[in-house]
Amino acid sequence: MFDHIQPARDQAERIARLRLSRTPRVGPVNFAQLMRRFGSATRALDELPNLIRRNGGSLTPPDPARVEAEMTRGEAVGARLIVVGDADYPALLAQADAAPPVLWALGPLKISRQCVAIVGARNASAAGQKMAQMLAHDLGQHGFQIASGLARGIDSRAHEMSLATGSIAVLGGGIDDIYPPENADLYERLRADGLILSESPAGHRAQAQDFPRRNRIISGLSLATIVVEAELRSGSLITARLAAEQNREVFAVPGSPLDPRCRGTNDLLRQGANLCESADDVLRVLEAQMGVEAPQTPYQPYPSPGADLEAEIARAARTLLGLISDTPTHRDDLLRLCDASTFIGLAALSELEISGRTQQSGGFYTRSAMQA
C-alpha cells in the first residue's frame, strides 16, 4: 500500500506525516490516498481545508503542539519514530493493506523480510507453551525473526526463545505500555536485545479496540503466522484471518478436540491452513519464498495536480454522494457506477470520508449521521 511513497525530504516532512496520520478520519487508506495525490504530507495538510470545505464537512488537524508533545514523550522513553518512506520502515508491512503510516520503535533489532509470527492462547497449556518455544527456537536457528504480541502464554514463550535470534513485540498500547505487568522483565530484555513496536503515542493505554489493530501489524510484518492454541473466538484467529487477507501463509498446530484451546486451531486446519507439527513444516512451505523478491506492481503515478484534476474529483464526489445510502455499498461497485477513473474515484471517496459525509467499514460505504 505504501510502496509508492518516497522518503521524507526533511524532518519537517516527517513531522507532517505524523500529524497527517493523527488527523481524525485520516486512517491508513486515506493517508495513502492523500500522499499519492499530493506527493507529501506537508502539501496534503495545506490542501485539507479546501477538500473539507467543498464537501461541506468539518475537520481540524491536530495542533502542531500536540504532535511535538508526542515526539517529546516518545523520545523521553528512548523510542524512535519510523514514518512510511523511511529506510527502516518494515518492507513487508509496507505492502499490506491498512499498514500504519507511523511506528514508534524501541530496541536495537532491525526488521528483516524473514519474519514469522507465533501467536496463541494466553491461558496456554504446558504442551502449547513447549510447542511455541520449540518453533521459536528452531525457526530462529534458520534465520527467522519471530513476531508476537507480548501477551501471556504463547506470545511470552515465543519471545523468550527468540531473543537471541531476533524477537519483535508489537504492543496494543503506546511504546511504554507494559501489559501484562508481569512481563516487565521480558519487556526490558526486548528493549535491550530485540524490538518493541507500537503505532500509538507513548502514554496511550491499550483499549479493547487496539488489539485487532495491533494484530494486523504482527501478521503484516511476517511471511507466515503460526497459531499454536486458540479458542474459537480469540485474537489469535483474528491475526490468522488478517494474515490470509494479506496473502501470507497461515499455519495451525493441531490439538485435542477435547481441549477448548485447540478448537480454533483445528478449525483453521479445517478451513485449509497449513498443518504445523514442527519448524520443518514451516520451512518447507516458505522455502520457495526465502530470498525471492515478490513481483512488484508497476507504480502508476497520480495525474498531475491542477484545476482540471480537482474539478474531476469534485464532480465524482458529488456523484458518489448521490449513490451512497444507508445500505452498505462496496467500494468497487461505487467506482463502477461513478463513471470516473480509479484514481479520481478513490480520491473522491477519500474526500467524502475525511469530510465526514460518509463512513466505511471493510470497504463498504454508508451515509454518515450528518449526511443522513
Chain segment 50-91, per-residue pLDDT in tens: 888 888 887 888 899 999 999 999 999 999 999 999 999 999
Question: Given this model, what pLDDT does residue 297 score?
Answer: 47
Residues 321/327, Cβ–Cβ less than 8 Å: no
* 50 contact partners, CB below 8 Å, separation of at least 6: none
Please report which confidence band the pLDDT of residue 303 belongs to, taking 50, 70 and 90 as the band edges.
low
Question: Of residues 267 and 4, which shows the higher confidence score?
Answer: 267
- Quick check: 305 pLDDT over 60? no
Find where cell 519464498 sits.
289
**Ranges of each domain in the chain:** 11-89, 106-286, 307-367
Close Cβ partners of 113 (under 8 Å, ≥ 6 residues apart)? 91, 92, 223
> 307-367 domain in CATH 3.40.50.920?
no
N residues, the chain: 372
Better-predicted residue by pLDDT, 119 or 304: 119
Task: Work out the mean pLDDT of the chain and round it to a whole number.
Answer: 91
Sign of CA dihedral 347, 43, 217, 149: negative
Is 106-286 assigned to CATH 1.25.40.10?
no
CA dihedral 367, 46, 315, 356 (to 10 degrees): 10
Q: Residues of 264-285 as b/e, b for ≥16 C-beta within 10 angstroms?
A: bbbbbbeeebbebeebebbeeb
CATH topology match: 106-286 vs 307-367: no
State how far the alpha carbon of 7 is from the alpha carbons of 17, 84, 89, 220, 339, in Å. Answer: 11, 8, 10, 20, 34
d(CA 283, CA 256) in angstroms, rounded, equals: 24
Q: Which residue did the predictor score with more confidence, 247 or 296?
A: 247
Q: What is the pTM of this model?
A: 0.89
Q: Could you report the per-residue pLDDT of 242-287, keeping only the tens digit for each?
A: 999 999 999 999 999 999 999 999 999 999 999 999 999 999 999 8
